[in-house]
């Protein structure tokens, strides 16, 4: 089938097998290898992308489901090469170690901030509960997002 979609701001149309997994389509057909494969069954979050504003695990989505949608992978956060503020916060807080979980982790946090720019610590933790990290112990990741939210709150003139 032919599908049309937007990926990282670019519109495309492709002929695909509708039952191909989105993770395979992104990695093998489009060369977006920042989308990592860990568990292959929706449990680790390494393959997370943002699909129409929501964080989804691309190993559990079929390509036939993305017709007419907009997808963002980690490349979409820094299209000109300048890091997104969330990526900078991760770097500043040491929230990246081996980096395997990082694209998915950042995209889950980004989807949260798109929906709720001022989440509580509990809401941040809820947003990343589907993203496993073997390295950081999660505290630095939560701290990175909290720092960004705190700065944004401080900058808000009405607060």
Q: How far apart (Å, rounded) are the C-alpha atoms in residues 99 and 121?
A: 22
CB of residue 21 vs ligand FES: minimum separation in angstroms?
9
**Binding to ligand FES in span 104-123, by CB under 6 A:** none
Q: Does 65 bind ligand FES (CB under 6 A)?
A: no
Single out the residue of 70, 132, 136, 65 nearest to residue 105, CA to CA.
132
- Considering the complex, state which of residue 88 and residue 152 has its C-beta at the smaller distance from ligand FES: 88
Q: Does 47 bind ligand FES (CB under 6 A)?
A: yes
CB of 23 to ligand FES, least distance (A): 6
Please, which residue, 7 or 46, has the CB nearer to ligand FES?
A: 46
């Amino acid at each position: 089938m032919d599908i049309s979609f937007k990926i990282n701001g670019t519109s495309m149309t492709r002929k695909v097998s509708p039952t191909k997994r989105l993770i395979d389509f992104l990695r093998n057909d489009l060369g977006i290898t920042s989308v990592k494969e860990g568990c292959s069954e929706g449990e680790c979050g390494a393959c997370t992308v943002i699909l129409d504003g929501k964080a989804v695990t691309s190993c559990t989505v079929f390509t036939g489901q993305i017709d007419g949608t907009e997808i963002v992978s980690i490349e979409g956060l820094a299209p000109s090469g300048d890091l997104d503020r969330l990526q900078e916060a991760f770097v500043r807080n040491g929230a990246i170690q081996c980096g395997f979980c990082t694209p998915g982790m950042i995209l889950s946090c980004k989807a949260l901030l798109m929906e709720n720019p001022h989440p509580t610590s509990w809401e941040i933790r809820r947003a990343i509960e589907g993203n496993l990290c073997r390295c950081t112990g999660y505290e630095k990741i939560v701290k990175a997002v909290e720092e960004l939210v705190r700065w944004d709150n401080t900058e808000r003139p009405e607060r």
